[in-house]
Structure 1
Amino acid sequence: MNRRSMLLGALFTIALPALGSSLGSFGCKGPSSQGGEESGKVRLQLKWMTQAQFAGYYAAKAKGFYTDEKLDVTILPGGPDIVPEQVVAGGGAEFGIDWLPSLLSAREQGTPLINIAQVFQHSGMRQVAFKTSGIKSAADLRGRKVAVWFGGNEFELLATLDKHGVDRNKDVTLVQQPFDMNLLLTKQVDAASAMTYNEYKQVLDSPGVKADDLVIIDFNQEGTAMLEDGIFAREDWLKDDKHKDVAARFLRASLRGWAACRDNAGECVDIVVKQSPTLGKEHQAWMMSEVNKLVWGPPSPTAEPGLMDKAAFRRTADIALKFKVLKKPAENAAFTTAVWEASKKK
C-alpha cells in the first residue's frame, strides 16, 4: 500500500461498535478544559489529518474570521489513533469533528456530547462498479462480490441492500476492502466503496479509466445516506451561557470559512497545502471541489449551512439502530440548533 493510499484510507476507520467501550472509560463529570470564554482560546479536534476535508476551519483561521470573533482557535489534526469524541470528552478540545453515528454511539455509552452544527449535509460515500460488470443499479448487486470498509463504514451499503430486498448474508458476498481501490481495479470484486473526495479519484487516476466507464451508486439518491462531518461539543460545557456564546462565535466564523471556500476554492486549497503538503495541490483541489458539494449541495436538504436536517438525523439514527451501532433509538436531544440560532444573532 503506498503512502497516499494509507493516508486516504485510514480516514474511514471509525470502528463504531468499539467506540462506545473505549469512551466508557472516560469520566463524564466535567473534565477540565484549558480553553474557554476568559481567554477566547479554544481547540478544534479534527477527524483526520490536515486536508481540504477541513478547509473551512483552516480558512477561518488564516483569514482572521476567528480573530474577528475574539477567538484564538487551535486546530488539532487527527490520525488513526485519535478518536475526536474521546478528546472532547476528556477536555482535550472544546469542539470536535466526526460522523454522526460515532457521536450517537458515544452518547449511548454515557458520554455527554452533542452535535451543534451539521456541516456536511450529504454523504460522500459511494459504491462504484464498472459498466462492463453489467451492474446498473443497487439491485444488481445481488449475486455479486462487493467490497466495503467494515468497522462502521458498511451501514449505508447494508441499508441499501435491504431496501432492494438483497439479503446481505445469502444474496451477496461482502468482502473486506483495504484502503485502496485495487480489488475493483483488478476485477477481483464487482463493486467497491469510495469516498467522492478520495478513493473515487484514485479510480479515475488509474490508467485507461474514464468516468463514463463507471456506475456510481449514490446513497443520497437511494435514501440510505448517513450524516458525516458535524461539529460537536460537551453538553455540560454548553450549559454555561458564556460557553454557548463562545460556541456561537466559533460556528459563525467557521461557516464564514466554509463560505469563503465555496466562493474561492483555489485560495482555500493554497491555505490547506501551506499547512500540510502531504497530499499535494492537485488532489487537494479535487477534494475541495467535492467537499463543497457535501456542504452546499446540490441540492442541500436545508436552506441554511450548518443547520441539522431533522429527517436526515432520524434516517442516520434509524440505520444506526437497525445495524446495532445503537441499542436503543437515539433521541433528538443528541443535537441542538440553539448554537446555530445564536450564531445568526450578532
Structure 2
Amino acid sequence: MLKSKLVRIMVSAISFMVGGVGAAHADETVSLYLKWVPQYQFAGYLIAKSKGYYEKHGLDVKIISGGPNINTVQEVADGAAQFGIQTPEPIFYAYEHGLHLVMLMADFQRPYEEFMVKKSSPIKTIQNWEGKKIGINIGGLSQLLLPVMLKNAGVNPSSVVTVRKTLSLAPFLSGEVPIWNGYVGNEPFESADQGVPVREFKLAKYLPNWYADTLFAKKEYVVTHAALVKHFVQASQEGWEFAVHHPKQTIAIIKTFNPQKTNKQLAQEASAVIPLMTSKEAPVSCFGKMSDARILSMEKQMKEISSWPEAKGVPAPEYFYDAQFIKCQ
C-alpha cells in the first residue's frame, strides 16, 4: 500500500514537472489588460480569444478593456492581470522605480502615433511648430518623444506649448489648438469625416526605431510560468497572423467585442495600422519579434530624456525583453 502510494506521488510529481516545462495545464485562467477599448489595435488577441486559439493551447483568457483612466502597468503590477499591453516607455519607467517588467512581443514594429494639422494650415514642417500650441496625449509615447522630434528638427522644445488633448476634436477643428496628437487609424479619419482633411506628421517616419504596443508581464511571473507564457504568446501570434491576412473577417469579430465601432471606422483603422505591424525583420510568419539592437537604442534615448538614475546605467536588452517565447515559422 505504502509502495503504491509512493509511486502515485512520484508519477504526480513527474507529471507536474513535465507539464510545467512543456505545456500549459488545461483551462488555466489568465487575464490580459488592453490599454484601450477593443479595436484593430488589439486584433490579434481578440481573434485568438474568439477563434479558440487560446483554448487550443489550454488557456482560458479573460480580456479586460482599457481606457483613458487605466494604467496597464499598474494593473499588472498589482496582479489584476497577468499580461498587459503597453508601449515600451512605461516599461522603461518602471525600471526607475524598481519594478521589473519584460516585453514578450511587439504588436507594432513602428509607432502608430502622430501629430496632425489642418491641410489648409500654413504649418508645413516641424520647424513651423515653434511658438504653437500642441494638444497631446499626456503620458503617451508622443509626449516622451516630442522633444526628440523637435530637437532633431532644430526647434527648441521649450518654444512650444503643450496642452492635454480631449476626446473631442473641437479644440483642433476650431483652430484653438492647431497641432493635434492622435493615432494614424483614428483622428485623421475622424477629422476628414467632419470635412477637415489633415496633414500628418507620423512618428513612424521621424522616429522609426521605436516599437509601439508590446505584450508584457512581470519578470517573476514569466520565470515561474514559462510554459503558460509560451502558450499565450504563440496563441496570440496565431491571432495576429489571421488579423493581418483577413481584415474583413477580423472586423466582424472585433465588433462582437465592441459593437459601438462601425465597419467603416475599423476598416480605416486596419488600413492604417496593418502596415506598421510587421517589418522585414519581423514578418507575419515571425510576428512580434523584437531585436536587442533596437531595444538598446531606445534605452539609450530613455537615458537622455528621462530621469533614469545615473547609478542604474543602461541594462542589457534582455533585461526588458524575453525572446524565448516567439515562434517563427
TM-score, scaled relative to structure 2: 0.82
Post-superposition offset of 1:306: 0.6
Which residue in the other structure is 2:96 paired with?
108
Which residue in the other structure is 1:239 paired with?
223
8 Å CA contact 1:101–1:325 kept in 2: the answer is no
Q: Please identify, of 89-98 and 322-331, the stretch whose mean Cα deviation from structure 2 is larger.
A: 322-331
Q: Please identify, of 144-153 and 250-259, the stretch whose mean Cα deviation from structure 2 is larger.
A: 144-153
Alignment counterpart, residue 36 of structure 2, candidates 42, 48, 54: 48
Which residue in the other structure is 1:91 paired with?
79
Post-superposition offset of 1:223: 2.7
Which residue in the other structure is 1:60 paired with?
48
**Deviation digits for residues 170-219 of structure 1 (CA, Å, limit 9, x no counterpart):** 3x333443233323322223322121122122111112x34xxx322122
Matches within 5 A, 1:90-239: 90-152=78-140, 153-170=142-159, 172-207=160-195, 209-210=196-197, 214-223=198-207, 226-239=210-223
Structure 1: any 5+ residue segments left out of the alignment?
Answer: 1-35
Distance 1:150 1:325, change over 3 A: farther
Q: Please identify, of 280-289 and 62-71, the stretch whose mean Cα deviation from structure 2 is larger.
A: 280-289
Distance 1:344 1:221, change over 3 A: closer
Which residue in the other structure is 1:339 paired with?
325
8 Å CA contact 1:115–1:231 kept in 2: the answer is yes
Q: Distance in 1 between matches of 2:265 and 2:135?
A: 24
Matches within 5 A, 1:73-92: 73-92=61-80
Distance 1:90 1:37, change over 3 A: farther
Q: Distance in 2 between matches of 1:197 and 1:227?
A: 17
Q: Please identify, of 37-46 and 214-223, the stretch whose mean Cα deviation from structure 2 is larger.
A: 37-46
Post-superposition offset of 1:226: 3.6
Taking only aligned residues, the RMSD between alpha carbons, in angstroms, comes to 2.4
Aligned residues: 299
Post-superposition offset of 1:137: 2.2
Alignment counterpart, residue 298 of structure 2, candidates 306, 311, 316: 316
Distance 1:224 1:146, change over 3 A: farther
Matches within 5 A, 1:250-329: 250-296=232-278, 299-300=279-280, 302-303=282-283, 304-324=286-306, 326-328=308-310, 329=313
8 Å CA contact 2:85–2:216 kept in 1: the answer is yes
Distance 1:80 1:220, change over 3 A: closer
Q: Distance in 1 between matches of 2:153 and 2:77?
A: 39
8 Å CA contact 1:160–1:224 kept in 2: the answer is no
Distance 1:188 1:82, change over 3 A: closer
Whichever residue aligns with residue 324 of structure 2, its letter is A
| Runs of 4+ off more than 6 Å | none
Q: Distance in 2 between matches of 1:134 and 1:100?
A: 34
Structure 2: any 5+ residue segments left out of the alignment?
Answer: 1-23
Distance 1:327 1:55, change over 3 A: same
Post-superposition offset of 1:238: 1.9
Q: Distance in 2 between matches of 1:107 and 1:202?
A: 36
Q: Distance in 1 between matches of 2:188 and 2:298?
A: 23
Q: Distance in 2 between matches of 1:149 and 1:88?
A: 22
Distance 1:179 1:323, change over 3 A: farther
Whichever residue aligns with residue 254 of structure 1, its letter is S
Q: Distance in 2 between matches of 1:267 and 1:43?
A: 24
Post-superposition offset of 1:318: 3.5
Which residue in the other structure is 2:12 paired with?
none
